[in-house]
Amino acid sequence: MRVMAQMAMVMNLDKCIGCHTCSVTCKQAWTNRAGTEYVWFNNVETRPGQGYPRTYEDQERWKGGWELNRRGRLKLKGGGRLKKLATIFSNPIMPSLKDYYEPWTYDYATLTDAPAQEHTPVARPKSLISGKDMKIEWSANWDDNLGGSAATAANDPVLRKISDTVKFEFEQTFMFYLPRICEHCLNPSCAASCPSGAIYKRAEDGIVLVDQDRCRGWRMCVSGCPYKKVYFNHRTGKAEKCTFCFPRIEVGLPTVCSETCVGRLRYIGLVLYDADRVLEAASTPDDHDLYEAQRSVFLDPSDPAVVREAERAGIPRDWVEAAQRSPIHALINRYKVALPLHPEYRTMPMVWYIPPLSPVVDVVRDTGEDAEDERNLFAAIEALRIPIEYLAELFTAGDVAPVDAVLRRLAAMRSYMRDLNLGREPDGSIPAAVGMSEEEMYDMYRLLALAKYDERYVIPPAHAEQAHALEELATECALDYEGGPGMGGSGPFGEGSGTPTPIAVENFAMLKDRQTSDTVAAPDRSGRVNLLNWDGKGTPQGLFPPKDEP
């Protein structure tokens, strides 16, 4: 047994209202720079829908993740080491910008500067890639709330899987939101695909990061990740991905997306797992067994043997205690309501989801029946094959049994708690029907419905003796790096070359610039453009490419 700790997340999809706050705050924090305009470390997809980048789940086309070879051993779906090197000059399975979308801004200045004229001036969209006028045809959430999905939903690879003949009838439709970040996988195929070995998994907390100094821009990670959560910064020529907000996690704060989530649906905590069994679990022959196999690599943090092994592996005492209180461990292993996203990619994702009961509840309510009654809900779960199969394609490689079980638990909780809330005698047979005790059911309710801040986030800070140099605290003098604060921007070899600026200092310099500059445009020099604050005046460096002569 080799115990390792992993920082993991669970999202409760029933609560997601699709407001995109998480995406926007994440973008503000991490990807509001030139070169990452099209990048959303966090994005929220409406399902059924094509996702972002479009149809990324179609692995026959994009070839992300792992598959089993004929001898039953894991291999990269995109091809082994030799094939990777042979296609390094032009990666045939890398999505191009049109599979994401062409980012744009608006020419706001004409709204105020246009001369008097008969027609109201309009702000025309300008491409952030070429600087030219463009026609907006797609974006990261173009099919939001099923917009236009009568035409496009048929391309949804998940919908296509559950039945070739399923017609997307608007009347009998269902819909839910799926917020996605990098999964910080236990068996990350992005890292395995990186020719330079620049992507690594942090031994302490399992966060998967790209070493910007070692990345050489080979782009294999972009196609290697089945979730398409590594992005290529086209200005710096380096790969970038979700960092699990490691500077915040290190000091015990939740990630930006979780902290700002309006639905308070994200949970963060530690899980302990047995690193020696990861490979075996990821090579489970039958796709349907992958969910169970993934659950089986997690260790019970209350088991004295595990605690002893964890100590031997150098995991600090307070981390083990945090793992015992972890909401993630509870949701995955105790209440068994969280499921992994696409376990069949075999990367062992570490952001899990509680599937939404809402498609079921909505149907029951629409028929005029009591949508709080467990018998009605159980019957509907039996009857509603299409939504359930769809969820199963997402979370259990198509096996409906685990999804059924989760939805029943959620339905049971709903009915059981109604009696309690109305001051009636609670019906102990309801939890028993889904294999839970009354106490467990109440605890699950507490965690899922009340969702107190300190129960949602149990994040042990990185160690105090190291805190002095942690990124977010920045207690070191902000001046003690090349150039001092406020420097940065374009080096002599293109965007961002030269010595990198620490994140905390970069944020500090950017905020100061923004607050003290007289122009409304983003600060020059830094090459970092804050699109949300830019009002269309001026041409901040880095927003538009240099004008080319006609």
Partner 1 sequence: MDVVLWVVVPYVCLTVFVVGHVWRYRYDKFGWTTRSSQLYEDRLLRLGSPLFHFGILAVFLGHVMGLGVPKSWTEAVGVSESVYHVLAVAVGAVAGFCTLVGMAILIYRRRTVGPVFSATTKMDKAMYLVLATVIVLGLANTVIANVFGHYDYREGVSVWFRRIFRFDLHPELMAEAPLGFQLHGLAAFGLFALWPFTRLVHVFSAPLGYLTRPYIVYRSRDDQQLGSHTPRRGWERTR
Residue 183 interacts, among partner 1, ligand SF4, none and using kind-specific CB cut-offs from 5 to 8 Å, with ligand SF4
In this structure, what DSSP letter does residue 268 have? Answer: E
Q: Are 45 and 52 in contact (CB under 8 A)?
A: yes
Residue 182 interacts, among ligand SF4, partner 1, none and using kind-specific CB cut-offs from 5 to 8 Å, with ligand SF4
Catalogue the long-range contacts made by 479-488 (C-beta closer than 8 Å, 24 or more residues apart).
481/505, 485/509, 485/512, 486/512, 486/513, 486/525, 486/526, 488/525, 488/526, 488/527, 488/528
Q: What is the pairing mode between strands 3-12 and 266-274?
A: antiparallel
Residue 316 interacts, among partner 1, ligand SF4, none and using kind-specific CB cut-offs from 5 to 8 Å, with none
State yes or no: residue 8 binds partner 1 (CB under 8 A). no
Collapsing DSSP to helix, strand or coil, 193 comes out as helix
User: Alpha-carbon Rg of the chain, whole angstroms?
Assistant: 24
In this structure, what DSSP letter does residue 263 have? Answer: T
Residue 539 interacts, among partner 1, ligand SF4, none and using kind-specific CB cut-offs from 5 to 8 Å, with none
Q: Are 487 and 510 in contact (CB under 8 A)?
A: no
Please report, to the nearest 10 degrees, the dihedral formed by the alpha carbons of residues 249, 254, 258, 259 taken in order. -130
In the bound state with ligand SF4, the residue whose beta carbon lies nearer, of 184 and 219, is 184
In the bound state with partner 1, the residue whose beta carbon lies nearer, of 25 and 236, is 236
State yes or no: residue 471 binds partner 1 (CB under 8 A). yes
Gap between the Cα atoms of 340 and 65, Å rounded:
15
Gap between the Cα atoms of 21 and 257, Å rounded:
8
Helix (H) or strand (E) holding 304: helix 304-312
Number of residues engaging partner 1 in binding (CB under 8 A): 71
State yes or no: residue 461 binds partner 1 (CB under 8 A). no
Residue 311 interacts, among ligand SF4, partner 1, none and using kind-specific CB cut-offs from 5 to 8 Å, with none
Q: What is the secondary structure of 211-240 as a DSSP string?
A: -TTT-----HHHHH-TT--EEEETTTTEEE
**Among 256, 281, 363, 470, which residue sits at the site for partner 1 (rule: CB under 8 A)?**
470
In the bound state with partner 1, the residue whose beta carbon lies nearer, of 179 and 188, is 188
Of 126-134, 163-171, 303-311, 382-390, the window that binds partner 1 (rule: CB under 8 A) is 126-134
State yes or no: residue 197 binds partner 1 (CB under 8 A). yes
Q: In the bound complex, what is the minimum distance in angstroms from residue 523's beta carbon to partner 1?
A: 21
Residue 18 interacts, among partner 1, ligand SF4, none and using kind-specific CB cut-offs from 5 to 8 Å, with ligand SF4
State yes or no: residue 498 binds partner 1 (CB under 8 A). yes
Q: In the bound complex, what is the minimum distance in angstroms from residue 174's beta carbon to partner 1?
A: 35
Residue 336 interacts, among ligand SF4, partner 1, none and using kind-specific CB cut-offs from 5 to 8 Å, with none
Catalogue the long-range contacts made by 443-446 (C-beta closer than 8 Å, 24 or more residues apart).
443/330, 444/335, 444/337, 444/409, 444/413, 445/413, 445/416, 445/417
State yes or no: residue 81 binds partner 1 (CB under 8 A). yes
Q: Find out whether the peptide bond into 48 is cis, omega within 30 degrees of 0.
A: yes
State yes or no: residue 508 binds partner 1 (CB under 8 A). no
φ/ψ of residue 156, rounded to 5: -60, 115
State yes or no: residue 541 binds partner 1 (CB under 8 A). no
- Scan residues 230-289 and list those touching partner 1 (CB under 8 A): 232, 234-238
Contacting residues for 419 by C-beta, under 8 A, at least 6 apart: 425, 426, 427
Q: How many residues does the chain have?
A: 550
Neighbours of 544 (CB within 10 A): 18
Neighbours of 482 (CB within 10 A): 10
Q: In the bound complex, what is the minimum distance in angstroms from residue 467's beta carbon to ligand SF4?
A: 26
Q: Quick one: three-class SS letters along 88-120?
A: CCCCCCCCCHHHHCCCEEECCHHHHHCCCCCCC
Of 52-60, 94-102, 325-333, 334-342, the window that binds partner 1 (rule: CB under 8 A) is 94-102
Of 141-149, 300-308, 325-333, 465-473, the window that binds partner 1 (rule: CB under 8 A) is 465-473
Residue 480 interacts, among ligand SF4, partner 1, none and using kind-specific CB cut-offs from 5 to 8 Å, with partner 1
- Scan residues 148-187 and list those touching partner 1 (CB under 8 A): 187
Residues in contact with ligand SF4 by CB under 6 A are: 16-22, 44, 177, 179, 182-185, 188-190, 208, 225, 227, 229-230, 241, 261-263, 265, 347
In the bound state with partner 1, the residue whose beta carbon lies nearer, of 253 and 474, is 474
Q: What is the pairing mode between strands 43-47 and 176-180?
A: antiparallel
Q: In the bound complex, what is the minimum distance in angstroms from residue 358's beta carbon to partner 1?
A: 37
Residue 90 interacts, among partner 1, ligand SF4, none and using kind-specific CB cut-offs from 5 to 8 Å, with partner 1
Please report, to the nearest 10 degrees, the dihedral formed by the alpha carbons of residues 450, 453, 459, 461 taken in order. -160
In the bound state with ligand SF4, the residue whose beta carbon lies nearer, of 45 and 274, is 45
Helix (H) or strand (E) holding 510: helix 503-516
Q: In the bound complex, what is the minimum distance in angstroms from residue 246's beta carbon to partner 1?
A: 9
State yes or no: residue 199 binds partner 1 (CB under 8 A). yes
Neighbours of 225 (CB within 10 A): 30
State yes or no: residue 67 binds partner 1 (CB under 8 A). no
**Among 130, 163, 367, 519, which residue sits at the site for partner 1 (rule: CB under 8 A)?**
130
Q: Are 295 and 8 in contact (CB under 8 A)?
A: no
In the bound state with partner 1, the residue whose beta carbon lies nearer, of 172 and 497, is 497
Neighbours of 541 (CB within 10 A): 19
In the bound state with ligand SF4, the residue whose beta carbon lies nearer, of 223 and 501, is 223
In the bound state with partner 1, the residue whose beta carbon lies nearer, of 201 and 241, is 201
State yes or no: residue 539 binds partner 1 (CB under 8 A). no
**Among 17, 203, 449, 450, which residue sits at the site for partner 1 (rule: CB under 8 A)?**
203
In the bound state with partner 1, the residue whose beta carbon lies nearer, of 118 and 213, is 213
Q: In the bound complex, what is the minimum distance in angstroms from residue 5's beta carbon to partner 1?
A: 12
Q: In the bound complex, what is the minimum distance in angstroms from residue 262's beta carbon to ligand SF4?
A: 5
